[in-house]
Structure 1
Amino acid sequence: MANSETVDKILHAATVLFAERGFAETSLRTITCMADVNLAAVNYHFGSKKALIQAVFTRFLDPFCKALENNLDKLDRESPSVRDVLLAAGGAFVATQREVNERPERFARLMTLAYTQSQEHLRQHCSERFGGTLARLTKLLQVAAPNTDYMQFYWRMNFMLGASLFTLSSFESIVAMLGKNPEDIPIDEMLKYLVPAMTGMLQSDQIVDAAAPVAEIQNP
């Protein structure tokens, strides 16, 4: 079996199992069984479980960041709106999903796990390798939403990210509740609905005083 084929089989199995079970709950032996390779192959190509986890994310984030950089280069010549920037990110996600050929909900679940499970090595790896691109995306969003102060922007970004990851990771279930087949609604069709919602969440002109009573926030 060619080395590239072996690596692809290991990465696919790791992607599926990590997304379904989590990092700590998935053993290398389980991955090798699904990939139909021996443990020596994993050790040879990746060296450790931590390195394999990092490689799974690199498999998605490397093409995503390249596509995103290309899309952002085009926006830098203009004065992009929040919607423009989010569409650039959404377009990069769709292109990456097609290139990697994994279901989009798997990557969304992996991103959620990166936030919720203790994987400091993974956060450091992603920051060192992809932090520049993600910082550029964040900066463009800040410029496009000038009426939002730092704390509002910080929390809205997290709310927006959480809503996006939930929608993507639950994509098949959400579509099924519509009584439709997920294959009838491609991911880029769903983004037509998601991007406007994310845009409104981030660029609302209403600034809420964090020290205000809850009743005042609810009834400004």
Structure 2
Amino acid sequence: MAQSETVVRILDTAEVLFAEKGFAETSLRTITSKAKVNLAAVNYHFGSKKALIQAVFARYLDPFCEEFNAQLEVLERRPSLTLEDLLETLARTTLSIPAQKGSLSIFMRLLGLAYTQAQGHMRRYLQQHYGKAFNRFAQLLKNATPELPDAERFWRLHFMLGSVVFTLSSLDALKDIAASDYDEKIRVKDLVARFLPVVTAAMHAPVPPQPPRMAETAA
């Protein structure tokens, strides 16, 4: 369903302000003032600040998960799957969606904030609405890296995701550095082409000594 001009203006303004100032630090009055709408419009269309935050994420994640689930279904039908194919699919899908809506770097900053700020409702919301796609990806990742212990795979996955969020959220600054220091004009797809081999190698790195389990330390 097409969104009204007022809804789009509120969402556009909210996502920029949330990314710049944080969720807790951005008031609804700041958003309405910047978007040139009254507070009643936000309450009417969203009902609460929490619902507005969730709507900002849904605008990106709904189309992403629809496309990602379709791509995962294709991968699940393959008799064999490499880690490289899986990560390339994730990267391609990530780049295909936010570009239609707005800035990829803004969304990545928002995603990082959802996990670093005290936004428990966001973590619950993301798990409830998008956990299925993540769990399917995690299962395919396990199939592609059977040599990794489950706990090690968990950490490496989150190291990888953290690197993706940091790199793409600081994309403009990195482009400027590449241009001024190395005379390179970097496009996002060029960055991904460099990033994927590094991430793949990290996932395939030798397993370090594993820390003791809780039961062992308690004994």
Question: How high is the TM-score relative to the length of structure 2?
Answer: 0.89
Alpha carbons of 1:3 and 1:67: their partners in 2 closer, same or farther (altered >3 Å)?
A: closer
Q: Deviations over 1:27-58 (max 9, x none)?
A: 11111122111111000000000000111111
Question: How high is the TM-score relative to the length of structure 1?
Answer: 0.89
Residue number in structure 2 paired with 1:33: 33
What secondary structure, in the 3-state scheme, does the structure 2 residue paired with 1:178 have?
Answer: helix
Residue number in structure 2 paired with 1:59: 59
Q: Distance in 2 between matches of 1:112 and 1:211?
A: 27
1:75 aligns with 2:88: no
Residue number in structure 1 paired with 2:160: 160
Q: Deviations over 1:178-199 (max 9, x none)?
A: 126xxx5332221111111111
Q: Distance in 2 between matches of 1:92 and 1:80?
A: 17
Unaligned runs of 5+ in 2: 213-219
1:114 aligns with 2:108: no
Greater shift, 186-195 or 57-66, is seen at 186-195
Residue number in structure 2 paired with 1:218: none
1:185 aligns with 2:200: no
Whether contact under 8 Å (1:67, 1:95) holds in the other structure is no
Q: How does 1:1-220 map to 2 (within 5 A)?
A: 4-78=4-78, 79-100=80-101, 102-179=102-179, 184-204=185-205, 206-211=206-211
- 1:3 Cα deviation from its structure 2 partner: 6.0
RMSD after superposition: 1.8
User: Percent same amino acid at aligned positions?
Assistant: 43
Q: Distance in 2 between matches of 1:211 and 1:15?
A: 40
Q: Distance in 1 between matches of 2:208 and 2:112?
A: 27
Q: Moved runs in structure 1, 4+ residues, more than 6 A?
A: none
Q: Distance in 2 between matches of 1:143 and 1:202?
A: 13
Q: Deviations over 1:40-77 (max 9, x none)?
A: 10000000000001111111110111111121122122
- 1:203 Cα deviation from its structure 2 partner: 2.5
Q: Distance in 1 between matches of 2:33 and 2:26?
A: 12
Aligned pair count reads: 207
Q: Distance in 2 between matches of 1:211 and 1:112?
A: 27
Q: Distance in 2 between matches of 1:155 and 1:164?
A: 14
- 1:113 Cα deviation from its structure 2 partner: 0.5
Q: Distance in 1 between matches of 2:73 and 2:188?
A: 24
- 1:146 Cα deviation from its structure 2 partner: 0.8
Q: Distance in 2 between matches of 1:177 and 1:51?
A: 37
Q: Deviations over 1:97-156 (max 9, x none)?
A: 1221x1111111111101111111111111111100111011111110111111111111
Q: Deviations over 1:162-216 (max 9, x none)?
A: 1111100111111111126xxx533222111111111111122x1111349xxxx
Q: Distance in 2 between matches of 1:27 and 1:191?
A: 35
What secondary structure, in the 3-state scheme, does the structure 1 residue paired with 2:81 have?
Answer: coil
